[in-house]
Structures are given as C-alpha cells and as structure tokens.
Chain A
C-alpha cells in the first residue's frame, strides 16, 4: 500500500516537473535512458554467466587479495556491481565459495564500481558521446535479432552501452539548458550540516533510482555545469554509496542465509566507509588535492577530483576492513542465523479421523501425499529446476542444459521444517491408529503408508547428498563433467514428472502397474550411465576420482528414484481389496524388469540413453 502511494506521488511529481520545465524533461529522459542502458547491459552479461564468470569466480577466490581483485576487475568490465553481487551471493549460498571470499568480492565490486565515475567524468562529458551511442544502438539491434544466444547477449551489451551514452548526452544537454534558467548552486549548504544533508539527498536519490551509477552521473553532470558546489558533490557521492548499500540490504532481506550475511557485510562496509569519509572529509579532500596534483589532474578539474574522491574513500573502506575480513565472516556466521521458521503442521491428521479405519487411512494418504509434495518441491529445487517447469510439458532436457546457476537451497533447514516435522506427525498418527487394532487390508494399507512416508524421507536424504556434489560439479565448464550431471538431473526430473502424471490421472483409468515402466527407465538409464562412464574411463577422458564421485552420485539418484516410485505406489487411491491384490500379482518383479532392460540394451545399444534423454525431449 505504502509502495503504491509513493509510486503515485512519484508519478505526480515527475509529471509536474516534465510539464513545467523542458530542461528537466531532458534530464529525466537522460536518467531514464541511462538506467535502461544499465538494465540492458546487465541482461547481456547475464547471458554469459554460467560459464566464464562462474569459472573465474571459483578459481580466483582462494585468497583474499584474489577475491578483491576479482570484484574490481569484473565490476570494472561489466559496470554492474549488482550482477557481480548477485552471482557472488548464489555462490556463497551454494557453499561454493566461503563467506570471507564473498566479502572480498563485494569489497572489490565497491571499488570497481568507482571506475564508472572516472568514465563519466573523464570521457562521458568531454567528448560527443552521443555520436558513439548511435553505432552501438544500430549494431545492438542487429545482434539482438539473431537466434544465437551469444550474439543476442552481445546485442544487449551493445544496446546497453548505446543507451548509457545516449543517457549521458541527454543529461549533459539538459543541465546546460537548466543552468540558463535556474541556479541550484544558490542552495549550496556549507559546513558539516551541508555534508550531512547532501549525504542524505545522495542516499535518497540512489534508493529511488536503484543505481549509484545513475546518481553519480547526475552529480557529475550537475557539478560540470556548476549547479552544485564541489563540497556538496563529495557529500552526494558518499550518499550514493550509502544508497547502494540500502538497495542491497532490501534485496538481501529476501535472499537466503548466505545472501543475508553478504548483504549485511555490504551495508557494514559502505556504512563504515561513509562514517570515516564524513568524519575525515577535510583530510580526504586534502589527500584528493594532493594526489590529483601528483597524477596531473588540474586543481580546478572538479569532475576528475570527484571521481578520485569516490575511489579514495572506497579504498579507505577496503584498507580498514580487509585485515578483519575473516573475523567479520566468523561474526556474521555466528550471529546471523535463520530466524526459526514455523514447522509444517499436519493438515489432515486430527483426532476425529481416528474414529474409523477408513477415515484414518484416507487422512493418512492425504497427509503422506502432502509430504510427497513437499519432498517434490525440495528435490526440484535441489536439481535447480522450477517445479512448474517439471509439471509442464516443456523439454526437461533443454531446461537442464540451459541452467546457469545452482539454486540456493538449505536442505537441512527445509528437511527439518517441511519433511521431518510431517513425517513425525504421520508416524505418531499411524502408531495411534495401530493402537486401536486394525486387521486385514486396513492394517496392510497402514503399513504401506508408513513405508511410503519412510521412502519419501529416504529420497530427501539422498537428495541432500546429491545436492552437495551438484553444487560443485553440475555447472562445470567442462562438458565431460557437466554432461553426466545433466543426465542425473534430467532423469530425476523426468521421474518426478511421470509420477505426477500418474498421480493426477482419473482413478478409473490409473493403475499402479504404470509405475513398472518407470522402474525400467531407471534401470536402463543406470546401466547406460555406468557403461558410458566406463567407456570414458577407458578412453582416459575422465579422471578415476571424478568418475567415482559420479558413480556415487548416480547411486544416490537411483535411490531417490526407487524410493519415490515406491512411495507413489502407496499414494495411488486403491480400488477394492481384490483390485489391489491383483495389481500386486501382475506387477513385474526386479528379475522381470532386469530381463526387459537386458533385452533393450541388446536391441538398442546406442539408444539405451533413452532412460535419460528421450523422455526429457
């Protein structure tokens, strides 16, 4: 509600400003184009993540100085600290890099983002930048129309650069015109009060625009046209830095634990840099003057001096915090923990359901179904696939191949809250029901549901082990490593899809015998996986240690599949006692399945991939 009110006020204010002043219109259009350029640039670079960025990140974070350097270089190249922070957060969440390394990258990204000010002050306002914008936009659009993902990505980057340049050009001309009718410098506030007020303004503007780059652009352009004083511009730059920490903090609150800790570290870093810069603003300004003279920046070149100030106070933050990075990481790990979330409560297991065996079993079947659904969510996320995608008829194979990032998942936390709590309630309810004395078919069904609940828990535990290695290897840049993990992910996803299709069929048409086909698929894909792995080992295309890990992971995958199929059998609504007995009689046993799998591998030696690949379309 508050958001809506604020948005309305913003629209009204902007509308009034745009109607009132043509130069404001130009400035606002410049900011809008600049922001759009940033978004486009980020989108372009995003299409390249999942490969190079991740590979370099993993390889360059084993030492603190490397982490900081990675942050500086990647942010300088991409001009988007948001994207670098985002990838870092996902890596910390997946425990692929340590929190300390993540903090290093964030510090580096803060320093890297200051190169933006240098580019705008040094280049953006000194040359006819709009002239460069046009070719970038033209080439960008042509590239964007291509089918290739890489070319499309390049197109977004070119368009991003084009819009950034265009935005800068509009801002420049807008401020030039603005100066002739209005003099903002009359509102300059000298002294410490001015520092505080302008820091607040810089912060607010950055929070609204969600980009410290855009704020810096406004500050530098305003400074270039003498609309603000140099001292106030310094305070605005401090505010822009603080504002970016606020935006990260807002984003971090919705992230998982790793994201939260990194967001807090980011806020801490920016806050400390700001406090130090505000308290020592005269000393820092003096150092800027001294260094500027040293590197040949003119005393009245306030634009470059502002860029130098921006870099210097961020560097000050890095110097102050870097020696204590590990202590900061340890403190965050110790004090920032998950707020205990409520445990999942059973929905169908109430005392009244115990009255008759029929109601007790029906309630149990529904609750075990709920447990299965929770496990389904967890396993899908563990595979880094959306459940909606698995439930749809989209190609699983394509989705698996296109995955660029492992989804953050705290398996232990979800297990405790959504699986174990329900499993315990189910077991307690079963024990209560048994206490009332059940016989014959009811006792058997009760036993089957108990087994189903245990099978679901076992599948989740298998996923927990598998998830660790998926986090490490599933996004590997080496196809020899990635491909087998893609097959494992696709196999489980396909199984989840088929079980779901069986579960949602009409009771009149469904039979648990359909699950035998899934068993066969599991068996043949497992055989093929092992055969392929052996072949790669023989061809020395895979190190034996990696192959062993893959075999273990395939075993977890097989276990997950087997347990889910068994659980699904108990979840299908049985017909009469006779129907159930007949289905049990006609179900193929392990020996039958193995025989058919054997026949298939002989008949179709090349296509035996089918367990994984064909179904995943």
Chain B
C-alpha cells in the first residue's frame, strides 16, 4: 500500500483549516458510501449467480471494492488520530 502517499495526505490535511478538513472527510465518506452500495449490489448478484466464470468475476469485483474500502477506512483513521493529536498538542485556550 502506498503509505507514503497516505502520510503526505495526512500532512496536507493537518495543514488545512478546519473547514477544509471537514470537506475532506465528507468526500471520503461519500465515496465510501458509493463503494458500500456497489458492494451490496454485487453481493446480492453473487448470491444469485451459480458458481462458475461469472461468479468468479463478481467475486473479483467485490475483492477490489473491499481493498478500496479498507484503504478508505485506514485513511479516515489516520486523519482522525492526526486531528486528535493536533488538538492534544495545542496549548489550552488557543
């Protein structure tokens, strides 16, 4: 996985103001939602499909979506922990 890319993103995120940070998180949630709905759709199709070539293809598509969703979750986690850490390091009242 491209951790360097994730860390760069995190650095950019922390440098951005709060409004931008919120937009960023909203976008991740929006894309994750699309992925989730696609995964649900494919899952239902997979159940209806008999084992065979088409079944294997749908399973492959699901695996791709899972990999993308796990990337998204990791990103959200990193962003949140980075934000919490930043809050903790900030002097009180600032």
Instruction: Say if the beta carbon of A607 comes within 8 Å of chain B.
Output: yes
| CB-based contact A607/B56 at 8 Å | yes
Residue B86 is within 8 A (CB to CB) of chain A in the complex: no
A509-B37, A583-B31, A614-B53 known; A596+B2 contact, CB < 8 A: no
Closest to A514 in B: B38
Within residues 27 to 50 of chain B, which ones have a CB less than 8 A from any CB in chain A?
Answer: 27-28, 30-31, 34-35, 37-38
- Whether the pair A513, B60 counts as a contact (CB closer than 8 A) is no
Q: A585-B71, A592-B1 are in contact. Are A579 and B27 (CB under 8 A)?
A: yes
Are the C-beta atoms of A596 and B60 separated by less than 8 Å? yes
How near does chain B come to A41, taking the closest CB pair, in angstroms? 40
Q: Across the interface, which residues of B come within 8 angstroms of A510, CB to CB? A: 34
Q: Are A592 and B67 CB-contacts (below 8 A) given A509-B37, A610-B57, A617-B54?
A: yes
Q: Decide: B71 and A586 in contact? CB cutoff 8 A.
A: yes
Whether A521 and B31, one on each chain, are in contact in the complex, defined by CB atoms closer than 8 angstroms, is no
Measured CA separation A389–B24 after assembly (Å):
41
Bound-state Cα–Cα, A599 to B63, Å = 11
Contact, CB under 8 Å: B56 / A604: yes
Q: Cα distance A578–B23 when bound, in Å?
A: 7
Contact with A along B54-85 (1 / 0, CB 8 A): 11110011011101100110010000000000
A575 contacts partner chain B, Cβ-Cβ < 8 Å: yes
* Residues in chain A near residue B71, CB distance under 8 A: 585-586, 588
- Chain B contacts for A607, CB-based, 8 A: 52-53, 56
Chain A residues with CB below 8 A from B60, complex form: 517, 520-521, 524, 596, 600, 610
Contact present for A615 and B54 (CB under 8 Å): yes
Bitwise, B7-28 to A at CB < 8 A (1) or not (0) is: 0010000000000000110111
Q: Which residues in chain A, 228-282, are within 8 Å of chain B measured between CB atoms? A: none
Q: Which of A578, A586, A596, A614 interacts with B24 by CB under 8 Å?
A: A578
Contact assessment for B61 and A517 in the assembled complex, using a CB-CB cutoff below 8 Å: yes
Q: Does B5 reach chain A (CB closer than 8 Å)?
A: yes
Please tell me if A412 contacts chain B, counting CB pairs below 8 Å: no
- Shortest distance between the CB of A439 and any CB in chain B (Å): 17
Closest chain B residue, CB of each to CB of A615: B57
Contacts of B5 in A (CB 8 A): 585
User: Please, which residues of chain A bring their CB within 8 A of the CB of B67?
Assistant: 588, 592, 596
Separation of A613 and B55 alpha carbons in the complex (Å): 12
**In the complex the two chains form, what is the Cα distance from A509 to B30 in whole Å?**
10
Chain B, interface size: which category? 20 to 34
A588, A599, A600, A613: the one contacting B53 at CB < 8 Å is A613
Assembled-state Cα–Cα distance A579/B30 (Å): 8
The total of chain A residues at the interface (CB under 8 A) is 34
Residues of A within 8 A of B9 (CB): 585
In the complex, the answer to whether B53 meets A596 with C-beta atoms within 8 Å is no
Tell me whether A582 and B64 are in contact in the complex, defined as CB-CB below 8 angstroms, given that A604-B56, A607-B56, A614-B56 are known contacts: no
Minimum CB–CB distance from B9 to chain A (whole Å) comes to 6
A516 close to B (CB within 8 Å):
yes
Determine how close the nearest CB of chain A comes to the CB of B30; give it in whole angstroms.
Answer: 6
What 0/1 pattern do residues 601 to 617 of A give for CB contact below 8 A with B? Answer: 00010010110011101
**With the chains together, A511 CA to B1 CA distance in Å?**
20
Give the residues in chain A near B55, CB-CB below 8 Å.
614
- Chain B residues near A610 (CB-CB < 8 A): 53, 56-57, 60
Contacts A524-B60, A596-B64: A513 and B53 contacting too (C-beta < 8 A)?
A: no
> Which residues in B have their C-beta under 8 angstroms from that of A509?
34, 37-38
Q: Is the CB of B57 within 8 A of A589?
A: no
State whether A588 touches B37 (Cβ < 8 A): no
Question: B residues within 8 A CB of A599?
Answer: 63
**Cβ A575 vs Cβ B53 within 8 A:** no
Known interface pairs A511-B34, A579-B30; A517-B64 also in contact (CB < 8 Å)? yes
**Interface membership of chain A positions 19-58, coded 1 if the CB is closer than 8 angstroms to chain B and 0 otherwise:** 0000000000000000000000000000000000000000
A581 within 8 A of B: yes
Q: A614 with B54: in contact, given A509-B34, A596-B60 (CB under 8 Å)?
A: yes
User: Contact: B68 with A588, CB < 8 Å?
Assistant: yes
Find the residue from B28, B35, B64 having the highest chain A CB count within 10 A: B64
| Closest A residue to B27 using CB positions | A578
Output the nearest chain A residue to B49 by Cβ-Cβ distance. A614
Residues of A within 8 A of B52 (CB): 607, 614
A540 at the B interface (CB under 8 A): no
**Separation in Å of the A38 CB from the closest CB of chain B?**
43
* A residues near B37, Cβ cutoff 8 Å: 509
B35 to chain A: which residues have CB within 8 Å? 511, 513
B65 to chain A: which residues have CB within 8 Å? 513, 517
When C-beta atoms are compared, the residue in chain B nearest to A592 turns out to be B67
Q: Determine the chain A residues whose CB is within 8 A of the CB of B72 once the complex forms.
A: 582, 586
CB distance B28 to A588 under 8 Å?
Answer: no
A576 at the interface (CB under 8 A from B): yes
- Rounded to whole angstroms, the CA-CA distance of A184 and B27 in the bound complex is 89
Q: A517 to B57, alpha carbons, bound, how many Å?
A: 9
How far does the Cβ of B41 sit from chain A's closest Cβ, in whole Å?
A: 9
B27 touches A596 (CB 8 A): no
Is A582 a contact of B31 with CB atoms below 8 Å? yes
CB atoms of A581 and B57 under 8 A apart:
no
A370 to B23, CA, bound (A): 33
Residues of B within 8 A of A617 (CB): 54
Q: How far is B60's CA from A517's CA once the two chains are assembled, in angstroms?
A: 7
Knowing that A582-B27, A586-B31, A586-B72 touch, tell me 15 more A-B residue pairs with CB under 8 angstroms.
A511-B31, A511-B34, A513-B35, A521-B57, A521-B60, A575-B30, A579-B31, A582-B24, A582-B31, A585-B9, A586-B75, A588-B71, A596-B63, A596-B67, A607-B53
A interface residues, Cβ below 8 angstroms from B = 509-511, 513-514, 516-517, 520-521, 524, 575-576, 578-579, 581-583, 585-589, 592, 596, 599-600, 604, 607, 609-610, 613-615, 617
- Please list 19 pairs of residues, one from A and one from B, whose beta carbons are closer than 8 Å in the complex, sorted by A's number: A511-B34, A511-B38, A517-B60, A524-B60, A575-B30, A576-B27, A579-B27, A582-B24, A582-B31, A582-B72, A585-B5, A585-B9, A586-B31, A586-B68, A592-B67, A604-B56, A610-B53, A615-B54, A615-B57
> Which 4 A-B residue pairings sit nearest by Cβ, starting from the closest?
A614-B53, A578-B27, A517-B61, A582-B27
